[in-house]
Amino acid sequence: MFKYFTKMRRIILVPVGHVFAESVEKVRSAIDSIKPDAVAVELCPSRFYALSGRKKTDYKALLRSRLFFAAILSFVQDKIARDLGVSAGEEMLAAVEEAKKRGLPALFIDRDIRETMDRLSSVSLREKLRLFFSIRGKGAISIEDLKDQGTIDSLILELKNSVPNIYRALIEERDFIMSERLKHAEFETIVAVVGAGHLPGMKRFLSAPAKE
């Protein structure tokens, strides 16, 4: 976890793996022990409603809409989740459920997923293919490796260096948006549940002065 303090508030980042069953218990334990005034999640409202309804991802529709990157990301994440016997995003729903159970506000701090996909759609095909073949070449990385924050940080740095435009649209811009929304949220203590890949950037942005 990363804890950010000012004179007025505490923001505790709880990094999770989106497809690991233990992430659900990690989220519940953090909320129970910290007892925040609000719970923030790496979701936008539309993504939350899609997860809540458990709509099956239509990969063909994504490809027809030229959302090639969304189709690839969704397929990889769903496949790993199925292999582990869990549902992708379960930890985010658990965080919202815990907030509701305790009568706390649930804050959806992520950029709208449609805007993120629009940003990714403008990335060159060459860079998308570079990422695709990079993912295919990661066969040596095990599920256990992906539970290690150091491994995640290394993968994010590699993403930044090899496909900078995808990194900017998928990671950096969202790190900034989520950090700023947390800074401007008027609650004394916030537990923010975010993917482990967002931890390095959000730590950096949270430590910088807030912007309007």
User: CB–CB of 39/31 below 8 Å?
Assistant: yes
**Sign of CA pseudo-dihedral 67, 60, 88, 128:** negative
Could you tell me if residue 211 is inside a domain? no
**Sign of CA pseudo-dihedral 48, 53, 54, 57:** negative
Could you tell me if residue 52 is inside a domain? yes
Residue 165's domain spans which residues? Answer: 2-206
Could you tell me if residue 95 is inside a domain? yes
Q: What is the pLDDT of residues 113-145, one digit of tens each?
A: 888 888 888 888 888 788 777 766 555 555 566
The Cα–Cα gap between 119 and 172 comes to: 12
Average per-residue pLDDT for the chain: 80
Q: How many domains does the chain have?
A: 1
Could you tell me if residue 121 is inside a domain? yes
What's the token pair of residue 204?
Answer: 């950096």
Instruction: Determine the pLDDT at residue 52.
Output: 82
Please report where in the chains the tokens 């990671």 appear, as a residue: 171
Could you tell me if residue 19 is inside a domain? yes
Instruction: Provide, rounded to the nearest whole percent, the portion of the chain with pLDDT above 70.
Output: 75
pTM: 0.81
Could you tell me if residue 212 is inside a domain? no
Q: What is the pLDDT of residues 140-169, one digit of tens each?
A: 555 566 667 787 778 788 888 888 998 999
Indicate the SS3 state at residue 119: helix
The Cα–Cα gap between 102 and 36 comes to: 10
Q: What is the pLDDT of residues 181-202, one digit of tens each?
A: 999 999 999 999 999 999 999 9
The Cα–Cα gap between 23 and 19 comes to: 8
